[in-house]
């Protein structure tokens, strides 16, 4: 199924040269700029910059306008990225649902759609071909809401290699599943598959924390803890430890046990499944994370205790991650983060971890940003533009 005639552009037309990509990326991330400024920032000669500007304008990726007349000197030409030059679909797969958005080149969401995924088979595996069909149908539906569709980004929980193969799809029961190829065959579009937290890190690199910090960490809190990071402007694609060294960092060895048996590790306090398991066991009835939030609002001390403990664990994770990465910037995301982040227990832990010693004068504050996720779409844009 080829989605539209416009999407049948050749790969060479879709991809940009390294120079074109550098200019486009700069315009997308930092906004409009003059040829002179771009040349200075990107270390390009006047001649190269003029050639790249012409190519981008000709290709519809950028437009150039005279800046309003200034008091001094001649008005200058300002180069601006054209948001509608490319559109991509970003799709996040959970255990049972595909959530899709279609975005322009700035990552602005133009339309959304979702669909149920097929039921898992007897072996616990969500059928791959049927899932590709669901995602292709969503892309097809969203393609009608934009002038043309240029690519698809898919984000899944778990380990993904080569930007196409789901080595361990945590929620889908997938092992070594190539998901990019069947989707590419169905849609005729370039497809990139990434881990959902890596996708978010790559999105933040262009459109979030990466604008002000070349190195930052990302923690997602919800059904499982996720970690992503950008070092010196490069998103790390694959974690060496699947996040275990951070998730299972000890906090209090008198604390509750995590699923794999540590007493009082960060996951034991912060993983939604673990919190629910401990709170339910203590209450003698099933207690969900949502129940705890509601009970806390009603002034329940026990619920407040569980959530404060989770918030303190998050504070420890933020402090440990920032210290190991030597960055002042940590980004927080995920379904459960709003209930825990920027709370007094979290902030107190971080302040205490940063407290200088008796003879020390150096002080540090952390820049902790909470963000919604739209990672899959932005990775799709980066892929379509040919960004590494
Ligand atoms: Zn643990």
Give residue-wise pLDDT tens across range 257-281: 999 999 999 999 999 999 999 999 9
**Centre of ligand 1 from the C-alpha of residue 315, in Å:** 16
C-alpha–C-alpha distance, residues 209 and 330, integer Å: 8
Q: What is the pLDDT of residues 309-318, one digit of tens each?
A: 999 999 999 9
- In DSSP notation, 332-348 reads EESTTGGGTTT-HHHHH
pLDDT at 375: 65
Distance 153 CA to ligand 1 centre (A): 32
Q: Cα of 344 to ligand 1 centre, how many Å?
A: 24
Strand partners for 115 = 98
Three-state DSSP at 34 gives strand
Residue 83's alpha-carbon distances to 209, 210, 226, 242, in angstroms, are: 21, 20, 31, 35
Mean pLDDT across 362-374: 85
The per-residue pLDDT for range 131-151, each reduced to its tens digit, is 999 999 999 999 999 999 999
Higher pLDDT, 380 or 59: 59
Distance (Å) from CA 380 to ligand 1 centroid: 34
Asked whether the beta carbons of 136 and 120 are under 8 A apart, the reply is no
pTM of the model as a whole: 0.85
Ligand 1 centroid, distance to 142 Cα (angstroms): 41
| Pairwise CA distance, residues 15 & 9, whole Å | 10
For ligand 1, the distance from its centroid to the CA atom of residue 247, given in whole angstroms, is 7
Ligand 1 centre to CA of 275 (Å) is 13
Handedness of CA 42, 44, 47, 51 (dihedral sign): negative
pLDDT above 60 (res 329)? yes
Q: Give the closest residue to 156 by CA, choosing from 115, 196, 199, 116.
A: 196
- Encode 96-139 in three state secondary structure: CEEEEEEEECCCCEEEEEEEECCCCCCCCCCCHHHHHHHHHHHH
Distance from residue 200's CA to the centre of ligand 1 (Å)? 24
Q: Please identify which residue in the block is written with the tokens 């791959």.
A: 128
CA distance 252 to 326: 24
Report whether 377 contacts 153 (CB < 8 A): yes
């Amino acid at each position: 199924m080829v989605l539209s005639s416009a999407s049948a552009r050749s790969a060479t037309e879709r991809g940009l040269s390294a120079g074109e990509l550098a200019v486009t990326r700069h315009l997308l991330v930092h906004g409009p700029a003059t040829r002179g400024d771009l040349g200075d920032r990107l270390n390009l000669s006047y001649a190269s910059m003029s050639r790249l500007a012409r190519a981008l304008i000709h290709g519809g990726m950028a437009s150039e306008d005279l800046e309003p007349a200034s008091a001094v000197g001649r008005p200058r030409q300002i180069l601006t990225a054209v948001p509608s030059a490319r559109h991509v679909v970003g799709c996040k797969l959970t255990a049972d649902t595909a959530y899709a958005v279609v975005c322009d080149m700035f990552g602005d969401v133009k339309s959304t759609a979702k669909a149920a995924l097929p039921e898992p088979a007897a072996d616990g595996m969500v059928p791959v071909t049927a899932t590709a069909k669901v995602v292709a149908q969503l892309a097809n539906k969203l393609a009608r809401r934009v002038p043309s569709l240029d690519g698809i980004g898919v984000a899944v929980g778990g380990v993904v290699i080569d930007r196409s193969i789901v080595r361990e799809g945590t929620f889908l029961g997938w092992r070594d599943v190539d998901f990019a190829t069947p989707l590419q065959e169905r849609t005729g579009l370039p497809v990139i598959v990434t881990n959902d937290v890596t996708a978010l890190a790559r999105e933040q690199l262009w459109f979030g924390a990466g604008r002000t910090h070349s190195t930052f960490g990302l923690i997602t809190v919800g059904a499982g803890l996720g970690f992503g990071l950008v070092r010196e402007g490069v998103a790390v694609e694959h974690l060496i430890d699947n996040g275990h060294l951070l998730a299972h960092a000890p906090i209090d060895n008198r604390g509750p046990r995590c699923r794999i048996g540590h007493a009082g590790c960060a996951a034991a306090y912060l993983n939604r499944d673990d919190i629910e398991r401990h709170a339910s066991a203590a209450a003698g009835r099933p207690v969900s994370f949502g129940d705890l939030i509601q009970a806390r609002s009603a002034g329940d001390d026990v619920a407040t205790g569980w959530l404060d403990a989770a918030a303190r664990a998050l504070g420890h994770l933020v402090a440990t991650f920032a210290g190991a990465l030597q960055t002042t910037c940590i980004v927080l995301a995920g379904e459960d983060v709003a209930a825990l982040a920027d709370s007094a227990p979290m902030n107190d832990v971080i302040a205490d971890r940063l407290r200088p010693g008796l003879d020390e004068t150096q002080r540090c504050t952390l820049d902790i940003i909470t963000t919604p996720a739209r990672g899959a779409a932005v990775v799709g844009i980066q892929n379509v533009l040919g960004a590494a």
